[in-house]
């Protein structure tokens, strides 16, 4: 029998690629789990709406677990959600981290505290090769958020492509955005039964962050 797992799911390219690879490796995802900022009603870090996350879940045919939390109780809420998934049969949790040891340690600690196995399908992969693999598989990811210290507002709303990666490199940013230069929303790809429709309303900025308002 396939090992059942929950997937820590931001809605961005790395979490989607880790889900793809986990399925390829024979794991059975019983849920995608997304943390929600309880003061904003959207995902932490990527700022993806609950409605869009529900649409992704339906298209993937994988249940969605929304974990509403504040910054103060983030770790505890994450672990409680993992416990709930373990009660439903999950044996491990899949993460999309690539090579930042501090991130791996945080994820591993959350899993170890509830006796789940942390799984890192992308770990130690080449950053550029991974994002190019994501594109070559046929996934579509829109840049939803940028750090304006690294990239300009013109990147918002663009869908990742090999050509766009070259433009990102010209800015001096990490091509995978692994240092927080940009965040994405994956709206279509081989695991989707249908693409997610996105309407761009406007671009906004505050301090050093630029983001898309979409519906």
pTM above 0.95, yes or no: yes
Phi, psi angle pair for 138, to nearest 5°: 105, 10
The model's confidence at residue 2, banded by pLDDT at 50, 70 and 90, is confident
DSSP characters over the chain: -PPEEEEE--SSHHHHHHHHHHHHTT-EEEEEEEEEETTTTEETTT--BHHHHHHHHHHHT--EEEEEE-STTHHHHHHHHHHHHHHTT--EEE----S-HHHHHHHHHHHHTTT-EEE-TTTT--HHHHHHHHHHTT-EEEEEEEETTTS-GGGTTPBP-HHHHHHHHHTT--TT-TTSSEEEEEEE-TT-SSPPP--EEEEEEETTEEEEEE-
Give percent above pLDDT 90 in the chain. Answer: 99
Q: What is the pLDDT of residues 14-24, one digit of tens each?
A: 999 999 999 99
The arithmetic mean of pLDDT across residues 51-60, rounded, is: 98
Q: Do 116 and 88 touch, CB atoms closer than 8 A?
A: no
Q: What is the pLDDT of residue 122?
A: 98
The arithmetic mean of pLDDT across residues 196-200, rounded, is: 95
Say yes or no to pLDDT of 48 above 80.
yes
Q: What is the pLDDT of residue 1?
A: 66
Instruction: Give CA–CA dist 156/143, Å, rounded.
Output: 5
Q: What is the pLDDT of residues 149-193, one digit of tens each?
A: 999 999 999 999 999 999 999 999 999 999 999 999 999 999 999
The arithmetic mean of pLDDT across residues 46-72, rounded, is: 97
């Amino acid at each position: 029998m396939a090992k059942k797992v929950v997937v820590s799911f931001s809605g961005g390219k790395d979490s989607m690629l880790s889900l793809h690879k986990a399925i390829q490796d024979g794991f059975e995802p019983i849920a995608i789990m997304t943390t929600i900022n309880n003061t904003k009603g959207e995902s932490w870090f990527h700022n993806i709406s609950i409605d869009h996350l529900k649409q992704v879940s339906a298209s993937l045919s994988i249940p969605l677990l929304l974990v509403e939390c504040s910054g103060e109780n983030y770790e505890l809420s994450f672990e409680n959600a993992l416990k709930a998934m373990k009660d439903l049969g999950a044996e491990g949790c899949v993460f999309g981290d690539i090579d930042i040891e501090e991130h791996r340690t945080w994820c591993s600690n959350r899993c170890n505290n509830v006796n789940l196995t942390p799984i890192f399908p992308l770990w130690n992969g080449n950053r550029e090769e991974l994002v190019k693999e994501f594109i070559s598989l046929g996934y579509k990811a829109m840049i939803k958020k940028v750090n304006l210290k690294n990239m300009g507002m013109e990147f918002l709303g663009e869908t990742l492509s090999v050509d766009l990666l070259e433009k990102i490199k010209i800015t001096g940013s990490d091509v995978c955005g692994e240092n927080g230069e940009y965040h994405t929303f994956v709206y279509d790809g081989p695991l989707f039964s249908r693409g997610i429709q996105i309407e761009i309303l406007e671009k906004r900025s505050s301090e050093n962050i630029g983001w898309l308002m979409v519906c």
